[in-house]
Structure 1
């Protein structure tokens, strides 16, 4: 049944692949040479299962998507109180590279703009820049689930053309925000932005945040739940530059973009999304990436305001009621992530069963994407010579007129079992 979710991703990528709006970043010379047609989309569930489509293995530099992870690192290493004395949590209302600080505190307004990110780098514990960067790279690598490294050419290009960031760093030093040498701090910052990732790396890093700081593949804890809560909060209010309000209403997930063309989005407790497409809009956000995330949110029902109870959704019990016939009792609220987990469990079990019966009488709430996924279960099983039935006593989960074409629905498990035996 994972083919159902894969189909959604493939269709969403195809829907937006021909968009030619936007332009690649030019202010860093090495970024101007990337292929503007590249387009990768990855989604990682909180249990580590990954869906990918398009150019999901193409490496690019992380750029400003690094900012929430460095912020999380220093929150974890030195504590929120120490970080709050140097970096605020309010939206700036200014371009990401503005040479400015808060008028009253004389500190950067948040960690998602360049001034805040440079201040965050200065807070990383270490005896010298090399030790600070090694600590940072180790942290990023744990979040990504593999060892990351730096694009040296992009690093040198950023360092050569980074005059504006130098102005920001020296301004911060003048206000007592940076304790160390601004040029040493900037060297770590330029290397941080030049770390190479793929859209699937970003999905894993986002899924690590979704899991409360635990990498879903390795099981290694990268940060505490309290750090994740603070990081996601700032991402939600400040992560998409001047388009943050639009993003919050149309996509509705904590997110961060980068001028390399990447976007990460996090649905807490459920999944992480990574997108790569280099052409940017006037706000510095990937044009295709933004539209793909809007489509994902709308089609899969991922807006955070719509899924607050999804964690209650689960397979309550499974039991075999006849040779080759297995019943899966679902309960709680069944939205995209819950339906995906349930159907992937059926797919995992399908070699050992002939008929799968999903018992839905204890499902409290369901959205249309979950209905479509459940309805598609039978088609997927039939391709493997199997059968799938739904039990919905009152047709409340699959009411007449809802998207249930192809589903075979029974009022009781006994009637579903009789059909299975007749088969």
Structure 2
């Protein structure tokens, strides 16, 4: 793919142009409100960052303002769990698209407590369980991992969002207790949920997210530190699952129209991996009916089209 990229001379100018076009779109979507703390975010925030493997970072708009990364955090948890558990992890969570809502209880009941993939809520809760079971201080291990990847020691969990998640997490608790009944949760359920809500409450900017996930564009090697985060086989697997399951029920459409491994979060963030090039992260809080950022989808789609970034080209 390396020889097919069509890079413009001025990436920053291109990002600014795309951002301005996104902000000029007709108003659409709404900010997530089922977690009250997220409903308080300024809906007009819009930012985008591109972190290239050579270390260059290009930004436009609000790309350096931290936001609640929510489900994007599932990538970090999964990476840690895969390194700790190896292939044993796939006995407890599958790698198939769900075809159901990301928090479906019915599907989990039908499939006897084995989640379809690690990017739906039930799958991420199983991953959280493995981290709680394999680390004496799982939250500390996670935040240190993320800070190291992003090279930013100031990354933290937003206490207000974390508390809001706890107070409005009944459905996630239902998923966890149902899996516990099928013996697919090993640790104390409340401890597992506390870890899960904590990771969803991490605050990171577009620049932080793009930099932190550069290893997925570089066969598992973090370019800034030259540290091997995971082997190429694991990198392939994570990217494959991002392609099929990372964008909720819009994953197929995103793969069809954009053609990049990607993950979104209800905080309005959207990250897309471009192998051998870098990582794109866009953020704008208003979501479409699938739970994906309206402006974020537009910006990443436009950038991928104009630079010819699809992995399927």
Moved over 6 A (4+): none
Q: Distance between the aligned counterparts of 1:247 and 1:206, measured in 2? A: 19
Q: Distance between the aligned counterparts of 1:79 and 1:70, measured in 2? A: 13
Deviations 1:270-314 (A, max 9, x none): 1100111000000000000001111011111011112xxxxxxxx
Is residue 7 from structure 1 mapped to residue 10 from structure 2 by the alignment? Answer: no
Deviations 1:198-238 (A, max 9, x none): 01111112322111222222223322222211111110000
Matches within 5 A, 1:335-346: none
Residues 113, 178 of structure 2: 8 Å contact kept: no
Q: Distance between the aligned counterparts of 2:219 and 2:148, measured in 1? A: 14
Structure 1 pair 169–126 and aligned structure 2 pair: CA distance change class (3 A): closer
Aligned residues: CA RMSD: 1.7
Q: Provide the secondary structure at the position in 2 that maps to 1:305.
A: coil
Q: Distance between the aligned counterparts of 2:55 and 2:258, measured in 1? A: 22
Q: Provide the secondary structure at the position in 1 that maps to 2:187.
A: coil
Q: Distance between the aligned counterparts of 2:127 and 2:204, measured in 1? A: 21
Q: 2:48 aligns with which of 37, 41, 44?
A: 41
Q: Provide the secondary structure at the position in 2 that maps to 1:95.
A: coil
The aligned counterpart of 1:176 is 183
The aligned counterpart of 1:16 is 22
Is residue 164 from structure 1 mapped to residue 159 from structure 2 by the alignment? Answer: no
The aligned counterpart of 1:368 is none
Q: 1:92 aligns with which of 82, 98, 105?
A: 98
- Higher relative contact order structure (alpha carbons within 8 Å, sequence separation ≥ 6): 2
Residues 15, 48 of structure 2: 8 Å contact kept: yes
Pairwise CA distance, 1:127: 6.6
The aligned counterpart of 2:310 is 303
Residues 142, 222 of structure 1: 8 Å contact kept: no
So what's the TM-score if we normalise by structure 1?
A: 0.69
Q: 1:79 aligns with which of 86, 89, 113?
A: 86
Q: Distance between the aligned counterparts of 1:216 and 1:145, measured in 2? A: 12
Matches within 5 A, 1:3-402: 4-19=10-25, 20-80=27-87, 82-99=88-105, 100-101=107-108, 103-104=110-111, 106-124=113-131, 126=133, 131-147=137-153, 148-306=155-313
Q: Provide the secondary structure at the position in 2 that maps to 1:35.
A: coil
Residues 45, 272 of structure 1: 8 Å contact kept: yes
Deviations 1:309-339 (A, max 9, x none): xxxxxxxxxxxxxxxxxxxxxxxxxxxxxxx
Q: Distance between the aligned counterparts of 1:105 and 1:221, measured in 2? A: 36
Q: Distance between the aligned counterparts of 2:113 and 2:126, measured in 1? A: 12
How many equivalent pairs are there?
Answer: 304
Deviations 1:379-422 (A, max 9, x none): xxxxxxxxxxxxxxxxxxxxxxxxxxxxxxxxxxxxxxxxxxxx
Runs (5+) with no aligned partner, structure 2? 1-6
So what's the TM-score if we normalise by structure 2?
A: 0.93
Q: Distance between the aligned counterparts of 2:169 and 2:285, measured in 1? A: 20
Residues 132, 188 of structure 1: 8 Å contact kept: yes
Structure 1 pair 269–168 and aligned structure 2 pair: CA distance change class (3 A): same
Pairwise CA distance, 1:126: 4.9
Structure 1 pair 160–59 and aligned structure 2 pair: CA distance change class (3 A): same
Q: Distance between the aligned counterparts of 2:172 and 2:8, measured in 1? A: 45
Runs (5+) with no aligned partner, structure 1? 307-423
Q: Distance between the aligned counterparts of 1:266 and 1:157, measured in 2? A: 30
